[in-house]
Amino acid sequence: MLRVDTIPWYLKPFFLVFGYSSGLFLYGYCWLVHHTCRITFVGADLPTGAVVYAIWHRDLALYFGVFTSVRQQVWMNHPAWYMKPVHLLLRWTGVEHICLGSSGNSGKQALDNVVGYLKQGYSTTIAIDGPAGPAYVLKPGVLWMSRDVEVPVVPLHFSSSSSIRLGGWDRKILPRLFSGITIHVGERLLVSQDNLQASADEITQHLNK
């Protein structure tokens, strides 16, 4: 697999044009969503300090439309070449560190790197059924992060009053401009070895509201 960090020199000009043009399009769309949609938070208050936010993969566009500016965040993201626009979007929204890896693609090393930043006080956001599904099935990485670093998980459930559903395994949701977006913020959940399954059930239940 061709990765963003292994692009041959003779492909880099085309790669950069693709990455920056597509990245600007994504950022522009998210900026318009943020500034035209009615955004409402319900449930618990957004926490301060280090936290692991858990979302479904389908809600990524909603997430970036709501959170166009973040501070002291680290993300684990797929290293494939076609993810360059997303990596730029992360940078432009304020994510300071991107750890390249996913299930089957240096995922363990990337997870360890994210854990290291969490120990320094960073927060992160994880699409817990990504990057390739199956949809709405929690993968255990989010639980291990919380358990190993003693950082709470906060599930975020998104809903939109008007949206478009894409194809693909996750049926990604694209909110329409001037629609309403509601974010249901779950209670902080600290995962331990003794409550792994109960924590997984509680996170899944909140995201499936």
Residue 185 pLDDT:
97
Can you tell me whether residue 131 is helix, strand or coil? Answer: coil
Whether the pLDDT of residue 186 is over 80: the answer is yes
Residue 102 pLDDT:
76
| Residue 34: both structure tokens together | 């943020």
Does the bond joining 131 to the residue before it have cis omega, within 30 degrees of 0? yes
- Rounded CA-CA distance 74/4 in Å is 18
Label residue 130 by pLDDT band (50, 70, 90): confident
Label residue 4 by pLDDT band (50, 70, 90): very high
- What's the whole-number mean pLDDT along residues 133-151? 92
Residue 81 pLDDT:
95
Whether the pLDDT of residue 206 is over 70: the answer is yes
Beta bridge partner(s), residue 127: 55
Whether the pLDDT of residue 179 is over 80: the answer is yes
Whether the pLDDT of residue 92 is over 80: the answer is yes
Label residue 122 by pLDDT band (50, 70, 90): very high
pTM: 0.93
Label residue 50 by pLDDT band (50, 70, 90): very high
Whether the pLDDT of residue 201 is over 90: the answer is yes
Decide: 103 and 127 in contact? Cβ < 8 Å. no
pLDDT tens for each residue of 65-89: 999 999 999 999 999 999 999 999 9
Whether the pLDDT of residue 36 is over 70: the answer is yes
| Residue 190: both structure tokens together | 């600290």
- Provide the percentage of residues in the chain whose pLDDT is more than 70: 99
Beta bridge partner(s), residue 175: 163
Whether the pLDDT of residue 106 is over 80: the answer is no
Label residue 7 by pLDDT band (50, 70, 90): very high
Instruction: Pick the more confident residue, 108 or 181.
Output: 181
Residue 103 pLDDT:
67
Which residues are within 8 A (CB) of 133 and not within 5 positions of it... i.e. 6 or more apart? 57, 169, 170
Can you tell me whether residue 122 is helix, strand or coil? Answer: coil
